[in-house]
Structure 1
């Protein structure tokens, strides 16, 4: 008995000690701290949700305060961002990250960040220096290092100015390909497939397109070449599970002009789709803009002193990833011993540079980076030819802090003029101002291509194909105050003609999501904030309606499928968590797509054993719908005797996978499939972390081909609706919460509004905690 009591007391003491230790790494919320580094004090207000408002008469002081906050609340997240783009994760977590580090280190982003810092204007460097000092001061003010470092047996490394640019480069790696994968795959397909098969299966677009300028692409006719011609007599057909063809790192945004609002100001909506983790990628903050009576509010990326998307009281802006082409693969013409490559100026040596990758609990790894005048050598094409990568991300204009200028801009036209100078991964920039003006342009530098359009990998050795700098402000595509007073984008094609040639194609989304947004906007003549939130939360399965009708007709009267028929017939027409029919229709389409295109996958893997369609599958809807309607016998997968057999196999495989969950079919709802899995990054290695960090396993409405983009691990990292100057009416949702610390009063606060779609406020609430940095 005494032993049991003693054991319980010991366990209690240990738990209390652990709790006390854990609390030491909590952020400082109240009081006054003398920093010794500020010319003017900064007062930090937090509301009950942890939303931050900084007040200071000096902009450098508010930058210092934001750095302090980012370090206190999110330092481990910042560390992962800088290390992921610098190729330095192995130093923190060990050999498990070595393969990723080697791929990334070829781009030498740390050296590029240091170079870009030197090119910055002095005022930006001063502000960044204050932010960096704030980060390091905030880290030191914690009672103990962030809890993640105890689990890893590591100490946090101080922050530097280059680290802040590395967080920008981490977004390049998220939103663009560091290897030009789309061009690589597309070039191989166009080179190896018979032309009519390539044209049919890989169209540029079609009826789902909803560009701001231009028309839908024409649909290709059924090819004559039989699909069996790609296969040998005894070739086993390869199958690869088809995830959603619109599972993209992207976003939605739209803006309506003053002619469509009661108050005459523009209203902007923006929801940026990214991977969902604990904590959220964004940190909500705002500060007064010295010398004005305005305040800037929105989301910041921990690691930098900038509001990425938000409102400054005069304009509001938001972003979506473009899906356009911002890099080119260059096949190298090598000499006999492969040490030199041909250039317009003759033969040049391939430059070799050694990069040392530090690895936790293991010896350092040496990586030899092969470099050309165009960029690093990143691999080989389908014919074994080495490829150099000319990528915008490598150049000075690609990484800077010019987005800071959004603070002082007061009109849409000024914001559009800034677009080409913003050094971030290329985005559709939508802007609206207080007077009702709206506009679209590309944020990010656009290369001037000569002698080619960038759609194929071509040699640059003769000097007939090259980049010649970047477009000027006057040359950059833009739309200002369109006649219908509406602008929209959602990762699909936005333009055609010469602008499309300038931007290129690196795997545009299908367009169904963008089209649904456009049609929602065209259906109304007046808007307020709630009506734009309603569009953000639209989970109607308009794109899948014809597939539901097709499957209903296919199953009507078919023996053995009466229950499935009833579920599909009564599917509800939306991606609702309680719908079984939606899940069947959605997954049937993907399985049908997989079975139809498997012969092409098999053919390509003869040349490239690891070939996968990747972004090339985003336009598969057009050929597979034609196949399901016309059933051309010569395009039938040889593994099946008829199209009916293939369709039944697709459906049966879907139903079999659903039944594998152990629940009867009637309970295999979309919510069972689409259950949130929002976890801390370390939980992948230490599952026990889920116990105190993971968000609830909510069943989520929404899916990929609709405005309410949602999967278990990806979705709207934020939802924002705001009219500049009317921020008190603005709406904001964010998954997880402000703090990464599970004991913080802000951990998980606001997450339920994101799940349920409740219209929670953009503007910070009453000040609950006040901290003064002196």
Structure 2
């Protein structure tokens, strides 16, 4: 008989004890987590509703709310948001209020200091007070629903236990703070693009500035106007930017089109079988657990309208979707909605010059609460134009005039979209919509289509907006906002097609009033346009196919150039094989795509290093790539034309620089430890979709992170995708034919890892499988009394 010595027995007992302990910890964690699960079925007495409200959820957790009063459906949506997404809502309001340190501690103080100068909480309260009574009532009932939903949880959302904190009740002004958070995502709260573009224009020789910072080119695909012509070469030698003995500054650049933006387009009824317009919209944002959007639908009491689409937890509105007669979607305009104002300061620094003479700064104390620390008092300096947000490279203070600061900048007027019947009627609302300025693309059940800018557009006087100028003498100022008649717009174009993708959409007067806030390169937008003109009729699946288009059209000329380079150089046979067989798309299994894509970026790093070195002499934190999203044009001229006077002086020839760029790519790939044949694009572009707390507590990933799927797609194509950013939703819908529509959303409806809705729908998003826009049959029914 086999017997165990005392030592193995002790090891066995220890192992069993450890296993039992682990199981107990897992069980206890499960019990703890289950306490904060949302209520899905049954009847709840709220004490707050005029009539009962029914909430039916399907198997993916998509609710449809039936109510007899709009305030009651707002209450129900607030209840759902709180039960499924309260921690996310809390982060959104704290993010824009500059109150994160109160929840997470001192690490968030730099963020709070930067944001608190905008005093968004005070502005949110002001804006709510300025709203019509019916909108105030909807916000108040939404907040009441949030607080009821939070109170009905068996325990606070699990994130608060990890942070050892208690959630704070929701207030109507908090819903406006979620809009201000979107401003911070989609626009700069410091005028960053203008700041850096001005520095380049002031410091670089003029011809080098116009070469390295062009305003468009052959990839443009505007709705009005044409692509711009070839880029003339400068005369100034690039070596003149670098001083003798000065070390060259090299910084690897992420793709310059990795901006938070989106795609959307619409085809008119003349191009569809059912005669209704079809709208496609995929809003590109950071992909986290949970998703930023929450899918929902509701009836509009007293009408035959039914709302469906994406809501932003924190507000009682559909952001993008359909009301049954009109469908709409958004992309960031990337135009210019704020102006930096260099201040003329008195000798003692306490006053600044205005058209009425010298004036003292208004100084306001803003207390910054810190979890586990001492409250810090931030002194906010304010001017008649806006707060002081920073300094230029000379140290001169800058005030910021920003649409987000005005009453018109944030409101609940998207509620008006619930009962519009036509595209034209919806477009007329655009100047009244208090949201970060969007390309507003619409279609209706009659087949009409349109585009305009959603959001108020400032009327600039005495300035173009792209250059920071003093407003002290009164010749430069904003004269209110454009009227509806002045608003840029396109209605029922002859082509029956409209498209946008964060690039320049306009020319002429419309471009002048919109300005340039750092337009994306037009390649993504051009590929969408060309796809739309490749067919004469469309179904919903056809538009989804365009959303999933990962063909590397933009990189074809780079691939051809690199292949020719490799053919002339021995020792790269295996690399040449991958490049020649790259597949011409950003496929997860393509090695060649990864090489071509990264070769372009490393070439840009090396070729533009003298410009970066020069700018860092004046501003150590200067980032050339992030301010210049049109860098493709000078990069291609240098790659293909090899102008001797623009060669980085650290290289003897353009050939040497190109080989150095390729070697950098291969070195980076070798660090992965896999043979070249396995170093695919999917290895680099694997999903990293995590909960915000996972950065601080890695164990959170064990039960919340999505799978690390190898993802197709990239920045300069319709299927925009990186490891952490991409299509936060994909929507395709024809108003009146919602049953044919498609909706993808990463990570699922619920933030709770034990919810039956956690991760539901994520596979469809990853794989691009058509999934329903409308909710399916009810799997859960909850009645709020």
> Which of the residues 692, 699, 703 maps onto 2:703?
692
Shift of 1:10: 5.0
Verify: 1:562 aligned to 2:573, yes or no: yes
8 Å contact kept, 2:355–2:472: yes
Verify: 1:193 aligned to 2:204, yes or no: yes
> Which of the residues 663, 667, 672 maps onto 1:661?
672
> Which of the residues 613, 629, 632 maps onto 1:618?
629
Aligned position for 1:351: 362
Q: 1:451 to 1:155 in 2, by over 3 A?
A: same
Shift of 1:377: 0.5
* Counterpart Cα distance in 2 of 1:643 and 1:614: 21
**CA deviations over 1:402-425 (Å, ceiling 9, x no partner):** 000000101000110000000000
Match runs of 1:386-401 below 5 Å: 386-401=397-412
Match runs of 1:132-151 below 5 Å: 132-151=143-162
* Counterpart Cα distance in 2 of 1:701 and 1:533: 15
8 Å contact kept, 2:283–2:730: yes
Aligned position for 2:247: 236
Match runs of 1:371-386 below 5 Å: 371-386=382-397
8 Å contact kept, 2:217–2:231: no
DSSP 3-state at the match of 2:259: coil
Match runs of 1:321-470 below 5 Å: 321-470=332-481
8 Å contact kept, 1:86–1:104: yes
DSSP 3-state at the match of 1:565: helix
Aligned position for 2:232: 221
* Counterpart Cα distance in 1 of 2:684 and 2:334: 28
* Counterpart Cα distance in 2 of 1:584 and 1:14: 46
Aligned position for 2:4: none
Shift of 1:11: 4.5
Shift of 1:615: 3.6
**CA deviations over 1:457-477 (Å, ceiling 9, x no partner):** 000001000000001111100
8 Å contact kept, 2:408–2:432: yes
> Which of the residues 620, 644, 659 maps onto 1:633?
644
Verify: 1:319 aligned to 2:319, yes or no: no
8 Å contact kept, 2:327–2:442: yes
* Counterpart Cα distance in 2 of 1:530 and 1:248: 27
Verify: 1:644 aligned to 2:655, yes or no: yes
Shift of 1:14: 4.0
Match runs of 1:451-490 below 5 Å: 451-490=462-501
DSSP 3-state at the match of 1:81: helix
DSSP 3-state at the match of 1:133: helix
* Counterpart Cα distance in 2 of 1:285 and 1:209: 36
* Counterpart Cα distance in 1 of 2:20 and 2:254: 51
Match runs of 1:275-294 below 5 Å: 275-294=286-305
**CA deviations over 1:329-380 (Å, ceiling 9, x no partner):** 0000011101111111111001111100000011111100010000011111
Shift of 1:486: 0.3
Q: 1:37 to 1:607 in 2, by over 3 A?
A: same
> Which of the residues 236, 243, 252 maps onto 2:263?
252
TM-score by length of 1: 0.99
8 Å contact kept, 2:175–2:314: yes
> Which of the residues 89, 107, 121 maps onto 1:78?
89
Verify: 1:608 aligned to 2:639, yes or no: no
Shift of 1:15: 3.0
Aligned position for 1:740: 751
Aligned position for 1:575: 586
DSSP 3-state at the match of 1:740: coil
Aligned position for 2:276: 265
8 Å contact kept, 2:625–2:631: no
* Counterpart Cα distance in 2 of 1:547 and 1:393: 41
DSSP 3-state at the match of 1:607: coil
Shift of 1:9: 4.6
Shift of 1:17: 2.8
Q: 1:6 to 1:186 in 2, by over 3 A?
A: closer
**CA deviations over 1:718-772 (Å, ceiling 9, x no partner):** 0000000100000010000000000000000000000000000010001000000
DSSP 3-state at the match of 1:361: coil
Shift of 1:452: 1.1
8 Å contact kept, 1:577–1:699: yes
Aligned position for 2:55: 44
Aligned position for 2:774: 763
Shift of 1:13: 3.8
Shift of 1:22: 1.3
Verify: 1:298 aligned to 2:309, yes or no: yes
DSSP 3-state at the match of 1:544: helix
8 Å contact kept, 1:203–1:219: no
DSSP 3-state at the match of 2:485: coil
* Counterpart Cα distance in 2 of 1:10 and 1:651: 52
8 Å contact kept, 1:182–1:614: no
Gaps of 5+ in 1: none
**CA deviations over 1:575-618 (Å, ceiling 9, x no partner):** 00110000000000000011111100100111111111254221
Aligned position for 2:45: 34
DSSP 3-state at the match of 2:486: coil
Aligned position for 2:555: 544
CA RMSD of aligned residues (A): 1.0
Aligned position for 1:183: 194
Aligned position for 1:519: 530
> Which of the residues 726, 734, 741 maps onto 1:723?
734
* Counterpart Cα distance in 2 of 1:378 and 1:127: 34
Shift of 1:383: 1.7
DSSP 3-state at the match of 2:601: helix
Q: 1:372 to 1:523 in 2, by over 3 A?
A: same
Verify: 1:751 aligned to 2:762, yes or no: yes
* Counterpart Cα distance in 1 of 2:65 and 2:537: 35
* Counterpart Cα distance in 2 of 1:6 and 1:224: 77
* Counterpart Cα distance in 2 of 1:217 and 1:352: 47
DSSP 3-state at the match of 2:553: coil
Verify: 1:123 aligned to 2:134, yes or no: yes
Shift of 1:7: 5.9
Aligned position for 2:6: none
How many residues were matched structurally? Answer: 774
* Counterpart Cα distance in 2 of 1:237 and 1:137: 59
* Counterpart Cα distance in 1 of 2:490 and 2:585: 33
Shift of 1:240: 1.1
> Which of the residues 94, 99, 119 maps onto 1:88?
99
Q: 1:71 to 1:595 in 2, by over 3 A?
A: same
Q: 1:45 to 1:221 in 2, by over 3 A?
A: same
Q: 1:8 to 1:630 in 2, by over 3 A?
A: closer
8 Å contact kept, 2:503–2:521: yes
Shift of 1:16: 2.2
Shift of 1:45: 0.6
* Counterpart Cα distance in 2 of 1:536 and 1:11: 45
Aligned position for 2:5: none
> Which of the residues 200, 206, 209 maps onto 2:220?
209
8 Å contact kept, 1:439–1:480: yes
8 Å contact kept, 1:270–1:719: yes
**CA deviations over 1:168-202 (Å, ceiling 9, x no partner):** 00000000000001110111111111000001110
